[in-house]
Structure 1
Amino acid sequence: MSSHCCTKAVITFTMESLVAANTKFCFDFFQEISKSHCHKNVFYSPLSLSAAIAMVRLGARSDSAQQIDQVLHFNEFSQNESEEHDPCLKSRTQGMLADSSLEGQKAVAGSPVVQESSNPESELLSCHFGHLLSKLDRMRADCTLSIANRLYGEKQFPICPEYSEGVIQFYHTTIESVDFRKETEKSRQAINFWVESQSRGKIKELFSKDTITDATVLVLVNAVYFKAKWEKYFDSENTVDAPFFLSENERKTVKMMHLKGPFRLGFIEELKTQILEMKYTRGRLSMFILLPSCSEDNLKGLEELEKNITYEKIMSWSCPENMSEESVAVSFPQLTLEDSYDLNSILQDMGITDIFDETKADLSGISPNPSLHLSKVIHKTFLEVDENGSEAVAASGVEGETKSLPSWVTFNANHPFLFFIRHNKTQTILFYGRVISP
């Protein structure tokens, strides 16, 4: 894989290949949901989605596994990575051998034999996800990032101990047994309560009435809540009512925040688009805003931008070589974005079909029961963007230096734009969104 100008030397090749796969899936997913969400706000977490589906991939076999690999670009991982050269996978394999030996000692006559040990490919993938999620865990002091991924399986389907162990070790979560058949409503309420508690009360009623039935056998929950403080905060005294131009003939009044200061800014000439980086506290995370030039038809410029985004281009556009520090007058709307996606049909349209089909699904790495298939996948996200000024460090020092700056470049997000929130050290896109109407 070719290296990119932004890729830090500390990132290993394997980490880079995982990030590349996740980013490619991010844009593929956007193109798919845009078909049914045309001219609407869009907000989701590609990292969280990839991790959730990779968790299923850990127990998928045959075509079920290959379809996931194809759609999530996992099949583009380097072919020369093997157990022998991967210390994480090596230690995992040794640990599993030890565990299976203990299980053998504990097993009683007539117990079902645990199926094949998880194949090296899915182990390797999960190992890298484990590393990536651990890196993200370390920044919890800087922000509120809650990724609530969990599988809920009908209790009559026995779960392979190997699989439970892998989910805990790599994905920092569990697979829970519930009684969908006899206690359908109680199971639904339990799942909703867990998601609400994980999201600080922001995501309620993930599964509405009748979305879970007594025929449900396996549910994948994927909910994400995020809030962080800006490195340079917006003074709420400068927030004013201002027009946001939805389209040529339509506008609405929004709360527009204003801030002047040094920011990294770039311009994508071929798409007439500004790209601005706004860092969060301590600079580990940044929001990048892609703002097409204001025109008679703002949506046309946005559509052109959406069609042209690729993994390679986004890496290039956000490179230090293509973004320089400027004195920028930023105008940005307050946002609260909440989105929910029933992923069954979306993933099937993208090519992941077998895991949803009772007659075709091969999830034998999760349970020896051949009828196990995924009944429901829900993805829900919540984001707040405001001034974050009340507890922030005083900006008097910034004011002192801004007086001597000769001129200001204007970045006025008063019309539709794209944005993404990135973990800078690994280049991981945590969130991706489109704002048509704040």
Structure 2
Amino acid sequence: MNGRLPLLFAALISACLCFPPSPLSLEELGSDIGIQVFNQLVKSRPKENVVVSPHGIASVLGMLQLGADGKTKKQLTTVMRYSVNGVGKVLKKINKAIVSKKNKDLVSIANAVFAKSGLKLEVPFVSRNNEVFQCNVKSVNFEDQNTASDTINQWVRNETKGMIDGIVSPDSLDSELTRLVLVNAVYFKGLWKSRFQPENTKKRTFNGADGKTYQVPMLAQLSVFRCGTTSTPNDLWYNIIELPYHGESISMLIALPTESTTPLSAIIPHISTKTIQSWMTTMVQKRVQVILPKFTAEAETDLKEPLQELGIRDMFDQSKANFAKITRTGNIHVSQILQKAKIEVSEDGTKASAATTAILIARSSPPWFVVDRPFVFFIRHNPTGK
């Protein structure tokens, strides 16, 4: 077939952000594009929960970059600000550190390329993806859309310990045109270093971004945490706190406006990897009463539009996409980049599959840190800053 063929890219990742020292390191650059995508999504969905994964976005774009050429590759490297081929060893080291058993908290990352049966892939693309992203190639028959989607979704279920039921539907696969589906999945399970006692969980008022109030279960504990207050360049103040998981390699960071009259959307555009790095030096240990919603958040997002807004356009255009380094058997383009995410926060800790960067609800005035209106949180791997 001579026409341009769609490449469906499915991404499932647990949100891990990068906070190494300035100037921006590779880990920060990987996170920075994820935060830019997050900001684009918040703009278009100001009153919705937004759940994305910076690490996942960087991973899927990195896999695509290895197969891109010409202007398509230039757009990817320009927006990502690094070449995967130039930093492959470092990326491999970072991913290895994130899933290390030294973390104590469980993190698993898996990548796969599901290719049409008989499709000839370029050897360097397969070998580099395997070397850098530990990505395996699996052969599927896309002409049988139901079986193909079941195969991909079963892989996703296995890799996310059943938290994500599926990422592709039979309808998202074209029996004649689909050639590849690339998937990245992450599972995270962490226990709090300082556990919230179930007897302290009570229903409290939660002020939604839609202007309505809700009665929701809130976790509560009085303990010592690293926290602080900082401001945007236009002097909008907001509070920050770090809640470590028991292995102390991974933490949850929460930020919310200090004043209840300041919308979360006013501070989000100012959050970047550089900003988050400054949080780490601003926070100090304090004894505080933390009130945090017990919640489960789930979202499925097509990242095509926000990536196009950032300047990655040609790979989605069937007349311009250049993935000659993936296969020379017909021209292919990206039809979708999908990311599905789920996170559960409870008294014991957090379970997450795919993305974990969400907007929920919050208010605070130390020594109380009360999360009862929209807030943003990140999960961070401390040793790598990823």
* TM-score normalised by length of structure 2: 0.84
Corresponding residue number in structure 2 for 1:252: 214
Are residue 368 (structure 1) and residue 328 (structure 2) matched?
yes
Structure 2 Cα separation of the partners of residues 282 and 252 of structure 1: 34
Corresponding residue number in structure 2 for 1:63: 71
Question: Which protein has the larger Cα radius of gyration, Structure 1 or Structure 2?
Answer: 1
Corresponding residue number in structure 2 for 1:287: 252
1:264 to 214, 218, 226: 226
- Cα deviations by residue, 1:176-208 (Å, 9 ceiling, x for unpaired): 23222x222211111011101111111112112
1:145-294 to structure 2, matched below 5 A, reads 145-180=107-142, 182-214=143-175, 215-247=177-209, 249-269=211-231, 270-294=235-259
- Cα deviations by residue, 1:112-143 (Å, 9 ceiling, x for unpaired): xxxxxxxxx44223332211101112147622
How many Å apart are 1:175 and its aligned residue? 2.6
Structure 1 Cα separation of the partners of residues 203 and 304 of structure 2: 40
Corresponding residue number in structure 1 for 2:56: 48
How many Å apart are 1:157 and its aligned residue? 2.8
How many Å apart are 1:307 and its aligned residue? 2.0
Query: Partner amino acid for 2:285?
Result: E
Q: Contact 1:220–1:378 (CA<8 Å) still a contact in 2?
A: no
Q: Contact 2:105–2:250 (CA<8 Å) still a contact in 1?
A: no
Which 5+ residue runs of structure 1 have no aligned equivalent?
1-5, 75-120, 390-407, 429-438
Structure 2 Cα separation of the partners of residues 126 and 175 of structure 1: 19
Q: Contact 2:63–2:129 (CA<8 Å) still a contact in 1?
A: yes
Query: Partner amino acid for 1:368?
Result: R
How many Å apart are 1:268 and its aligned residue? 0.8
Q: Contact 2:47–2:210 (CA<8 Å) still a contact in 1?
A: no
Structure 2 Cα separation of the partners of residues 252 and 233 of structure 1: 25
SS at match of 2:44: coil
How many Å apart are 1:247 and its aligned residue? 4.8
Which 5+ residue runs of structure 2 have no aligned equivalent?
1-18, 350-365
Query: Partner amino acid for 2:241?
Result: L
1:330-341 to structure 2, matched below 5 A, reads 330-341=290-301
Query: Partner amino acid for 2:174?
Result: T
1:329-408 to structure 2, matched below 5 A, reads 329-388=289-348
Counting strand residues as a fraction of each chain, which structure ranks higher?
A: 2
Q: Contact 1:157–1:372 (CA<8 Å) still a contact in 2?
A: no
Corresponding residue number in structure 2 for 1:138: 100
SS at match of 1:174: strand
Q: Contact 1:146–1:225 (CA<8 Å) still a contact in 2?
A: yes
How many Å apart are 1:337 and its aligned residue? 1.6
Q: Contact 1:355–1:373 (CA<8 Å) still a contact in 2?
A: yes
Query: Partner amino acid for 1:278?
Result: L
Structure 1 Cα separation of the partners of residues 153 and 253 of structure 2: 32
Q: Contact 1:219–1:377 (CA<8 Å) still a contact in 2?
A: no
Q: Contact 1:196–1:202 (CA<8 Å) still a contact in 2?
A: yes
Q: Contact 1:218–1:372 (CA<8 Å) still a contact in 2?
A: no
Query: Partner amino acid for 1:326?
Result: K
**Backbone CA RMSD of aligned residues:** 2.2
Structure number with greater CO (CA < 8 Å, separation at least 6) is: 2
SS at match of 2:40: helix
Corresponding residue number in structure 2 for 1:432: none
Change (3 A) 1:287 1:349: same
How many Å apart are 1:146 and its aligned residue? 3.4
Are residue 325 (structure 1) and residue 285 (structure 2) matched?
yes
Structure 2 Cα separation of the partners of residues 414 and 326 of structure 1: 20
Counting helix residues as a fraction of each chain, which structure ranks higher?
A: 1
Corresponding residue number in structure 2 for 1:86: none
SS at match of 1:289: strand
Please say which of residues 252-261 and 268-277 is displaced more in the overlay. Answer: 268-277
Q: Contact 1:245–1:414 (CA<8 Å) still a contact in 2?
A: yes
SS at match of 1:44: coil
Structure 2 Cα separation of the partners of residues 423 and 205 of structure 1: 26
Structure 2 Cα separation of the partners of residues 139 and 338 of structure 1: 27
Q: Contact 2:99–2:109 (CA<8 Å) still a contact in 1?
A: no
- Identity percentage over the alignment? 29
Aligned length: 348
Q: Contact 1:292–1:305 (CA<8 Å) still a contact in 2?
A: yes
Q: Contact 1:334–1:386 (CA<8 Å) still a contact in 2?
A: yes
Structure 2 Cα separation of the partners of residues 248 and 198 of structure 1: 35
How many Å apart are 1:56 and its aligned residue? 1.1
Structure 1 Cα separation of the partners of residues 288 and 376 of structure 2: 19
Query: Partner amino acid for 1:324?
Result: V
SS at match of 1:384: strand
Query: Partner amino acid for 1:39?
Result: K
SS at match of 2:25: helix
Are residue 425 (structure 1) and residue 386 (structure 2) matched?
no
Query: Partner amino acid for 1:243?
Result: T
